[in-house]
Amino acid sequence: MMRLNKFIAHYSTYSRREADQAILDGYVRIDGEIEKNPAVSVDERSANVSISGHKITATDQFTVIVYNKPRGELVTKKDPQNRKTIYDSLSSNYKHFIPVGRLDYASEGLLLLTDASRVATALMTSKMERVYKIKIKGPVTEGMKIAMGEGLELDDASAGAHEYAEERPMSFAPFYAYQVQKDQGDYSILKVAIGEGQNRELRRFFAHFGAEIVDLKRLSFGGIELNNLPTGKVRFLERNEYASLRDFLETAEKAAKMKQKSEKKFTSATGKFDKKFSKDGKISAKPAAKEEKKPTKREFIKDKKVKPENEVFGTNKYRPKTDSKFKK
């Protein structure tokens, strides 16, 4: 059984929010009867659900495309300032596709889009490896290297954000890897791999050290590479990329179901039990003690004249739980 709004979002191009609105507005029918409760349960194997007369069929079919986004395009449907968006460039066949995360107006490179909201959500909320090539003003300092290796906590991460962004704290996890490709004093070029997709994350990170990012290009996401795809062009995933993605989705969805079962099993009678999950999946009333350990990472130290053994970045290949570990 599955909640109605989740069923619609899972098996259609509607987001969860859009599904909720369609249900509340009376566009959704179950067995021919209007249903206005987003939380009602349906059997995904036999449910007869339709939106405005169009039946929602439970299927595992979905499409993912790779778009080489140029600079000067927004990743949004519409812009109040009438600036160009990715949908102005994409074929009408992809107008309903959902972007997996964002690249800001001044950034370029690999952007994944899909016609299935569940796929977009699973990828956006994962710790998949995102690889970028960036150019910053100034040298790569020792402070930057330490923060890339150990993470960073800021009380105010407004530097590097949008002009009108509010002051707020921000946590930066340790980078999966970094490589200093050029360090010429007035500017530097780095290749970095991170596992998060926070708003303007890299721009905020380097702005903390007084370094402005002047060029930013995403090269890969979760092992899916940009390669030689021309700017402004689209390609479909290859067969092996789809196979890896399906493996990831299956594992992620199984883990989510197990977590839901555990939560239901250990919920108190009042429903107010403050659950804390430890790494082994058990629940206790007290927070699990944090395990102090340094992140697993590769540090490409070209700037120290040491040749790395392996310069291949795409290592995690859609593996939940282990995708935060950067293997040598």
Per-residue pLDDT tens listing for the chain (328 residues): 789 998 888 788 788 888 999 999 999 999 999 999 999 999 877 889 999 999 988 777 789 999 999 999 999 988 999 999 999 999 999 998 999 999 999 999 999 999 888 899 899 999 999 999 999 999 999 999 999 999 999 999 989 988 777 888 999 999 999 999 999 889 999 999 999 889 999 999 999 999 999 999 999 999 999 999 999 999 999 989 998 998 999 898 888 888 877 877 766 554 543 444 444 444 444 444 444 444 444 444 344 333 333 333 333 333 333 343 333 3
Query: Cα–Cα distance between 199 and 135 in angstroms, integer?
Result: 18
Residues serving a catalytic function are 104
pLDDT for 273 equals 39
Q: Give the pLDDT of residue 66.
A: 98
Q: Which pLDDT does position 197 carry in this prediction?
A: 84
Q: Which residue has the tokens 């059984």?
A: 1
- If you search the block for the tokens 């906590």, which residue do you land on? 153
Maximum Cα–Cα distance for the chain, whole Å? 70
Q: What is the pLDDT of residue 135?
A: 98
86 contacts 74 by C-beta, under 8 angstroms: yes
Angle at 12 between CA 7 and CA 14, to 5 degrees: 90
Is the pTM higher than 0.75? The answer reads no
Q: What is the C-alpha to C-alpha distance for residues 286 and 65, in angstroms, rounded to an integer?
A: 44
Sorted by sequence, the CB contacts under 8 Å of residue 144 that are 6+ apart come out as 206, 209, 211
